[in-house]
Amino acid sequence: MIRKTTLILAMLASGAVQAFAAEPIEGSWKTASGETAAISKCGSAYCVTLKTGKHAGKQIGKMSGTGSDYKGEITDPEANKTYNGSGSVSGNALKMKGCVMSVFCKTQTWSRL
């Protein structure tokens, strides 16, 4: 029992437990269509703004959440339609999902830059 406790304390001290911490959603992401999107804190939520491409400067989403899971709205800038959205961060990947009536959904995976 003492060995287990010592091992756990050593892991905590070395930072090994940090691998279990959720990745932040904030940062720059390469979208499925190749543009760069920036996700940053805006009030109590996170805003998604395109930085490159035809719609550069346009805010295309706003999500709230903590850890690795976020919910809110996401806009398809080409069709100018807004959907219920969610995002899930896993390492350097962000899985973005937009749904109509929670039934018809489209998912994209973005990469951290």
Question: pLDDT for 17-69, tens place per residue?
Answer: 334 445 789 999 999 999 999 999 999 999 999 999 999 999 999 999 988 99
Q: Percent of the chain beyond pLDDT 90?
A: 73
Query: Residue 33 belongs to what domain range?
Result: 22-112
pTM over 0.85: no
Residue 14 falls within a domain, yes or no? no
How distant, in Å, are the alpha carbons of 1, 4, 16, 18, 19 from that of 13?
Answer: 18, 14, 8, 10, 13
State residue 8's pLDDT score.
40
Residue 2 falls within a domain, yes or no? no
The span from the CA of 107 to the CA of 87, in Å, is 9
CATH number, domain with residue 99: 2.40.128.520
- Phi, psi for residue 20 in degrees, rounded to 5: -90, -10
State residue 101's pLDDT score.
86
Overall domain count for the chain: 1
State residue 13's pLDDT score.
39
Residue 37 falls within a domain, yes or no? yes
For residue range 71-80, what is the model confidence (pLDDT) as tens digits? 999 999 999 9
Residue 17 falls within a domain, yes or no? no
State residue 103's pLDDT score.
84
Q: Is the pLDDT of residue 97 over 90?
A: yes
